[in-house]
């Protein structure tokens, strides 16, 4: 039985919508994450895909408890981190880290990169003086940045280099889990491949577990062991990467996959075009959230939430089509 | 490692920092008025530092033979030497010249020398009061902006309360609490009065900077609130603080002159520009130079600091990078 590192149980995050300035009253809630359950095995990568605004990044931040959950459990190594006190949570931050999507914005422009990488070491007091310096150099070497440039400022580096520095910082405390929040989104395609390869090398080297958030399906296919497809705050399909790409079940997954460009001019794609925009997460459709845009819509779809259908041990989708 | 590192060395030409000292100075010297302000302020500091070396006469020496003499009056050396007869050696600085460039006041003291020494008082009060105001204002503003919520409301209402008082009246009130007015009480009073606008400005800046990704990145590695404020938020809020601080020095110098004019500030015979104005105001028709020159000193000093402050505002604006 593989060891489960991280598990979420029915995690919800509702951002309140308030009206009024002095006498605020809550008039609604944006259901950014609305009942998400998944688990990641140690040393594996779970890819999380979905279009903009579906709650992917919110989920990533919830797992690191950068924002508080509304309800549900986030179990990391057997402990529900949503219920930990401040001090215990701080200790746990050694074991989990995050790589942000915008390397430019996620590095303090007034802090030399060496100090940015050293920050986690300082916060936990694990290394001081020359030992700290050596560790920073080692980390820079690990991600392919010249260790001599540790006194330089972030604006002196290119986007790809900045993201490598962000990765070095995330690695500083030998974490077990790294949440990668669209880490290659802001990079050129050629640099994207290098950074993704770096992620894979590091995973092999340190037995890291990734939650890899992206909206680029080809990158997810490349890096993930499992893929979860998210739509409007919910996971609609979950499967091993190979299985999902070969045999997608949920109509939304099919639509996403049909939109992936294929580098073959003779390829006549069987495009499934989604009509309209995703509905507002403040007021999601009743029943299956996708029924407003689904071309296989059935009468029951708008009435009740669809059941979870298992196609194999680790492949499921929530859809009435397979009932 | 299979991933190929991008070009390891970064560009060799100088970094295009927006905040470095040299680029800031370069941009200031592009604007004629800001450059003028910088020169005036530099000269003021030089004057204050070198007052005892460059003043032609002692700041308190009363020449009975040269009472209320107009500018450019030359007194024979024999008379000047006669003045020093019977005075214990070392009590007064010996005269370096027999010329009274800006005339003398009603006690026969050299106005030029007193203006040079007065620069010391103006700068000490102006700068130290601003340091106190910045300490209070930045602390309160940063805490209000960073922690938000109830603390924010409480601190900002406190700020509003202080802001509602006419500042000079409040300073007079604070001075009344001290038994003996003097240099120390003046800058404490002005500092306690001057922090309100700084607190408001810092709160606004902190509110915007704390939403930046690098603050969240610091939180993700477990950095404490004080570390986030001191290491990440304040260094990135520095530009407006420098500008407001510079402008604040000008208004403190003006307030000090006002308080001293009213007899509430620095006490005679200390040469303060405000006291010199007060002492000369009855003689403005018969001996106008007693008032005019200290008045001009105040005018140019305040103008200099204001122009420098405005110049810094433009020079430190990151949207206006070096062309």
What tens digit of pLDDT does each residue of A138-162 get?
Answer: 999 999 999 998 888 888 898 889 9
Residue ranges with strand state E in chain A: 4-19, 25-41, 45-49, 71-76, 79-80, 96-99, 177-181, 209-213, 226-231, 234-240, 308-312, 315-318
Buried-exposed string A42-59: b where 16+ CB fall within 10 A, e elsewhere: ebbbbbbbbeebbbbbbb
- Which pLDDT belongs to residue A1? 60
pLDDT class of B201 with cuts at 50, 70, 90: very high
- Note whether A195 contacts B3, CB cutoff 8 Å: yes
pLDDT above 70 (res B214): yes
- Which pLDDT belongs to residue A110? 85
- Which pLDDT belongs to residue B4? 42
- Which pLDDT belongs to residue B16? 43
Q: What percent of chain B has pLDDT over 70?
A: 92
CA A290: distance to chain centroid?
21
pLDDT above 70 (res A100): yes
Q: What is the DSSP letter of B4?
A: P
Between A44 and A268, where is the model more confident? Answer: A44
- Note whether A201 contacts B3, CB cutoff 8 Å: yes
**Residues with Cβ within 8 Å of residue A67, at least 6 apart in sequence:** A13, A58, A61
Which residue of chain B has the CA closest to A62? B220
- Give the Cα separation of B266 and B59 in Å (integer): 15
- Which pLDDT belongs to residue B320? 52
pLDDT above 80 (res A214): yes
pLDDT above 70 (res B179): yes
Whether A191 contacts chain B with CB within 8 A: yes
- Give the Cα separation of A279 and A161 in Å (integer): 37
Q: What percent of chain A has pLDDT over 70?
A: 99
Select from B16, B212, B223 the Cβ nearest to the Cβ of A119: B223
- Which pLDDT belongs to residue B317? 66
Whether B12 contacts chain A with CB within 8 A: no
Q: What is the DSSP letter of B60?
A: S
My answer on whether omega of the bond before B269 falls inside 30° of 0, hence cis, is yes
- Which pLDDT belongs to residue A206? 92
Closest approach of chain B CAs to the CA of A146, in angstroms? 6
CA B222: distance to chain centroid?
39
pLDDT class of A218 with cuts at 50, 70, 90: confident
Q: Which residues of B touch A173 (CB under 8 A)?
A: 221
- Residue of B153, B213, B226 best to disrupt the A interface, most CBs of A under 10 A: B213
Q: Which residues of A touch B5 (CB under 8 A)?
A: 144-145, 164, 194
As to burial, measured by CB atoms within 10 angstroms (0-12 exposed, 13-18 middle, 19+ buried), residue A206 is middle
Whether A27 contacts chain B with CB within 8 A: no
Q: Tell me: the pLDDT tens digits for A236-254? A: 999 999 999 888 889 888 8
pLDDT above 60 (res A53): yes
Which residue of chain B has the CA closest to A199? B3
- Looking at mean pLDDT, say which of A128-132, B9-13, B21-25, B133-137 comes out highest: B133-137
pLDDT class of B6 with cuts at 50, 70, 90: very low
pLDDT above 80 (res A25): no
Q: Tell me: the pLDDT tens digits for B134-177? A: 999 999 999 999 998 899 999 999 999 988 888 888 888 888 88
How much is the average pLDDT of A171-200?
Answer: 89
Q: Tally A–B CB contacts below 8 A.
A: 101
- Note whether B17 contacts A119, CB cutoff 8 Å: no
Q: What is the DSSP letter of B110?
A: B
Closest approach of chain B CAs to the CA of A279, in angstroms? 27
- Which pLDDT belongs to residue B318? 56
pLDDT class of B3 with cuts at 50, 70, 90: very low
Between B11 and A99, where is the model more confident? Answer: A99
The domain segmentation of chain B, as residue ranges, is 22-55+110-316
pLDDT class of B61 with cuts at 50, 70, 90: confident
Whether B2 contacts chain A with CB within 8 A: yes
Closest approach of chain A CAs to the CA of B151, in angstroms? 16
ipTM: 0.85
Whole-model pTM: value is 0.81
Q: What percent of chain B has pLDDT over 90?
A: 29
Q: Which CATH architecture has domain B22-55+110-316?
A: Orthogonal Bundle (1.10)
- Which pLDDT belongs to residue B150? 92
- Cβ proximity of A154 and A162 under 8 Å: yes
Whether B323 contacts chain A with CB within 8 A: no
pLDDT class of B319 with cuts at 50, 70, 90: low
pLDDT class of B203 with cuts at 50, 70, 90: very high
pLDDT above 70 (res A94): yes
Q: Which residues of A touch B9 (CB under 8 A)?
A: 146, 149
- Which pLDDT belongs to residue B9? 39
Select from A61, A108, A146 the Cβ nearest to the Cβ of B236: A108
How much is the average pLDDT of B179-191?
Answer: 84
pLDDT above 70 (res A30): yes
- Note whether A100 contacts B216, CB cutoff 8 Å: yes
- Give the Cα separation of A221 and A227 in Å (integer): 8
Q: What percent of chain A has pLDDT over 90?
A: 27
Which residue of chain B has the CA closest to A22? B153
pLDDT above 80 (res B310): yes
pLDDT above 70 (res A293): yes
- Give the Cα separation of B1 and B16 in Å (integer): 33
pLDDT above 70 (res B18): no
pLDDT class of B51 with cuts at 50, 70, 90: confident
Query: What value does the mean pLDDT of chain A take?
Result: 87
- Which pLDDT belongs to residue B12? 36
Whether A169 contacts chain B with CB within 8 A: yes
Query: What value does the mean pLDDT of chain B take?
Result: 84
- Note whether A197 contacts B3, CB cutoff 8 Å: yes
pLDDT above 80 (res B19): no
How much is the average pLDDT of B188-199?
Answer: 90
**Residues with Cβ within 8 Å of residue A158, at least 6 apart in sequence:** B6, B10
Closest approach of chain B CAs to the CA of A237, in angstroms? 29
Q: Which residues of B touch A144 (CB under 8 A)?
A: 1, 3-6, 8
């Amino acid at each position: 039985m593989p060891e489960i590192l991280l598990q979420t149980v029915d995690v919800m995050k509702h951002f309140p919508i308030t009206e009024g300035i002095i006498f605020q009253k809550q008039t609604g809630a944006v259901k950014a994450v609305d009942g998400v359950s998944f688990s990641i095995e140690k040393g594996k990568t779970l890819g999380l895909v979905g279009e903009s605004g579906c709650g992917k990044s919110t989920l990533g931040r919830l797992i690191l408890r950068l924002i508080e959950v509304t309800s549900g459990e986030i179990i990391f190594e057997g402990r529900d981190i949503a219920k930990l006190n401040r001090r215990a949570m701080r200790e746990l931050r050694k074991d989990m880290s995050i790589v942000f999507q915008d390397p430019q914005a996620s590095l303090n422009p007034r802090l030399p990169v060496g100090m940015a990488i050293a920050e986690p070491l300082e916060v936990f007091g694990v290394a001081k003086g020359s030992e700290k310096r050596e560790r920073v150099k080692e980390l820079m070497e690990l991600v392919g940045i010249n260790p001599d440039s540790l006194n330089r400022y972030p604006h002196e580096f290119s986007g790809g280099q900045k993201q490598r520095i962000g990765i070095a910082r995330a690695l500083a405390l030998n974490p077990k889990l790294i949440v990668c929040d669209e880490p290659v989104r802001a990079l050129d395609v050629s640099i994207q491949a290098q950074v993704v390869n770096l992620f894979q090398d590091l995973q092999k080297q340190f037995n890291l577990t990734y939650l890899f958030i992206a909206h680029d399906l080809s990158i997810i296919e490349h890096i993930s062991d499992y893929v979860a497809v998210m739509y409007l705050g919910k996971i609609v399909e979950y499967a091993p990467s190979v299985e999902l790409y070969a045999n997608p079940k949920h109509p939304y997954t099919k639509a996403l996959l049909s939109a992936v460009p294929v580098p073959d001019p003779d390829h006549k794609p069987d495009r499934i075009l989604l009509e309209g925009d995703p509905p507002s997460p403040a007021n999601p459709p009743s029943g299956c959230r996708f029924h407003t845009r689904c071309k296989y819509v059935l009468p029951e779809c708008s009435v009740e939430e669809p059941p979870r259908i298992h196609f194999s041990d680790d492949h499921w989708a929530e859809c009435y089509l397979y009932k | 490692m299979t991933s190929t590192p991008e070009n390891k060395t970064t560009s060799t030409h100088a970094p295009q920092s927006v905040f470095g000292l040299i680029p800031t100075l370069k941009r200031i010297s592009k604007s004629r008025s800001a450059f003028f302000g910088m020169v005036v302020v530099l000269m003021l500091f030089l004057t204050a530092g070198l007052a005892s070396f460059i003043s032609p006469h002692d700041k308190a020496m009363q020449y009975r033979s040269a009472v209320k003499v107009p500018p450019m009056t030359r007194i024979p050396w024999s008379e000047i030497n006669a003045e020093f007869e019977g005075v214990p050696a070392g009590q007064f600085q010996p005269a370096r010249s027999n010329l009274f460039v800006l005339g003398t006041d009603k006690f026969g003291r050299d106005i030029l020398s007193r203006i040079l020494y007065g620069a010391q008082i103006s700068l000490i009060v102006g700068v130290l009061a601003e340091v106190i105001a910045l300490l209070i204002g930045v602390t309160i503003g940063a805490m209000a902006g960073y922690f938000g919520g109830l603390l924010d409301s409480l601190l900002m209402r406190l700020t509003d309360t202080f802001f509602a008082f006419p500042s000079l009246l409040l300073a007079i009130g604070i001075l009344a609490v001290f038994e003996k007015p003097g240099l120390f009480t003046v800058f404490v009073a002005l500092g306690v009065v001057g922090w309100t606008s700084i607190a408001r400005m810092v709160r606004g800046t902190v509110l915007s900077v704390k939403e930046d990704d690098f603050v969240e990145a610091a939180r993700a590695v477990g950095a404490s609130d004080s570390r986030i404020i001191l290491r990440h938020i304040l260094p990135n809020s520095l530009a407006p603080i420098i500008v407001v601080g510079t402008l604040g020095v000008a208004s403190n110098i003006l307030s000090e002159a006002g308080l001293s004019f009213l007899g509430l500030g620095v006490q005679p015979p200390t040469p303060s520009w405000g006291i010199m104005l007060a002492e000369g105001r009855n003689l403005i028709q018969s001996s106008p130079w007693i008032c005019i020159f200290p008045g001009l000193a105040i005018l140019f000093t305040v103008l200099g600091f204001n122009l420098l402050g405005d110049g810094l505002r433009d020079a430190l604006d990151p949207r206006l990078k070096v062309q």
